[in-house]
């Protein structure tokens, strides 16, 4: 049983409706457990030692809730379900939202300054829309079979923007990934599909690693150091996408990569495409312009005065 003895508000096995609540300096804010169902609206929680809201095996609906300075904004465990909208979680010591073996629906949620924005684990299902994560070490982390849908959201100023690992999957529709110091999206043995998203001023826009599988369609990569990086057996398909203004490479390919490129444009990068190990690259209908070192530097690189450029 979840320990809720230090919660300012609790709902265990029953129903709770709360509005215009102000909570401060509590061990926990609102705790829902053991089949309880709670609806909280227009609430303010400040200086909470643990979770502003928690849902362990129950159901929680939250709207227009602000959590300022807490150990965690919201935790969902034990097959709990939470639907939150128009909420702001700021200055969170741990994760803005943690979901372990649960279900999360988040709309118009803003998370500012946290260790992790959304931490999703243990086959959780999450649907995040119209939301923003800023200034976290990891904006969104998904592991262990998580299924995540992310639409029209932004991840800005983090180390790892989104980190997909251990057979988790991510579907992105729209949104912007900007100014992330490692990568906008990093997949390590996970699966990612991207449609219509923008990647701007990241160290790496998208990094597919350790047999990660990525599909990108109608996206835009602009002013990243490297647009797309693929390494160690990754499989990537990209179509109808623009890659421009990369300081290093539009696409960098390492050993064992399988890359398929159709109807993309590469402009004003150092290399449009750079192969840096034995890999398989298939291309059709791509356009290249003003890539100042090479449009496509194939592997192996020339060492005998014969150019490897294409």
- CATH number of the domain enclosing 46: 2.160.20.10
pLDDT of residue 307: 42
For the chain, what is the domain count? 2
- Say whether pLDDT at 12 is over 70: yes
Whether 163 maps to a domain, the answer reads no
Same domain, 143 and 217: no
Same structural domain, 247 and 266: yes
Q: Tell whether 12 and 139 lie within a shared domain.
A: yes
Q: Are residues 135 and 196 in the same domain?
A: no
**4 & 146 share domain:** yes
- The predicted model scores a pTM of 0.96
Domain limits for position 123: 1-158
Query: What does the pLDDT average to over 178-187?
Result: 99
Same domain, 140 and 122: yes
Question: Could you tell me if 14 and 128 lie in one domain?
Answer: yes
246 and 287 in a common domain: yes
**What local confidence, expressed as pLDDT, does residue 2 receive?**
57
Q: Per-residue pLDDT for 309 more than 70?
A: no
Q: Is the model's pLDDT at 304 over the cut of 90?
A: no
Confidence of residue 1 (pLDDT cuts 50, 70, 90): very low
Residues 252, 282, single domain; the answer is yes
- String of b and e for 90-126 (b: at least 16 CB within 10 Å)? bebebbbbbbbbbbbbbbbbbbbbbebbbbbbeebbb
Same domain, 123 and 184: no
Please check the confidence at residue 3 and state whether its pLDDT lies above 90: no
Is 120 a domain residue?
yes
Say yes or no: 154 and 178 in one domain.
Answer: no
In this predicted model, what pLDDT tens digit does every residue of 185-218 receive, in sequence order?
Answer: 999 999 999 999 999 999 999 999 999 999 999 9
Residue 86 lies in a domain: yes
């Amino acid at each position: 049983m979840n320990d809720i003895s230090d919660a300012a508000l609790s709902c265990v096995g029953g129903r709770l409706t709360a509005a215009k609540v102000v909570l401060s300096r509590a061990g926990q804010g609102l705790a829902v457990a053991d089949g309880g169902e709670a609806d909280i609206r227009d609430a303010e929680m400040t200086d909470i030692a643990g979770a502003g809201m928690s849902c362990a095996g129950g159901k929680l609906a939250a709207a227009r809730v602000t959590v300022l300075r807490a150990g965690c904004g919201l935790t969902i465990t034990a097959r709990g379900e939470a639907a939150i909208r128009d909420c702001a979680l700021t200055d969170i010591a741990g994760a803005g939202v943690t979901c372990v073996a649960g279900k999360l629906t988040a709309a118009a949620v803003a998370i500012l300054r946290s260790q992790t924005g959304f931490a999703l684990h243990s086959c959780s299902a999450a649907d995040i829309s119209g939301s923003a994560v800023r200034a976290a070490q990891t904006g969104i982390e998904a592991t262990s079979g998580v299924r995540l849908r992310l639409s029209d959201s932004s991840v800005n100023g983090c180390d790892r923007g989104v980190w997909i690992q251990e057979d988790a999957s991510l579907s992105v529709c729209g949104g912007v990934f900007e100014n992330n110091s490692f990568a906008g999206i990093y997949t390590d043995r996970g699966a990612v599909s991207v449609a219509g998203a923008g990647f701007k001023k990241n160290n790496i826009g998208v990094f597919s690693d350790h047999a990660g599988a990525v599909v990108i369609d109608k996206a835009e990569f602009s002013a990243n150091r490297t647009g797309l990086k693929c390494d160690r057996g990754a499989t990537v398909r990209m179509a109808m996408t623009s890659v421009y203004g990369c300081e290093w490479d539009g696409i960098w390919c390492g050993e064992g990569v399988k890359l398929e490129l159709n109807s993309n444009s590469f402009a004003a990068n150092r290399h449009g495409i750079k192969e840096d190990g034995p890999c398989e690259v298939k291309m059709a209908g791509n356009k290249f312009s003003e890539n100042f070192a090479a449009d496509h530097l194939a592997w192996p690189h020339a060492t005998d005065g014969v150019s490897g450029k294409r």
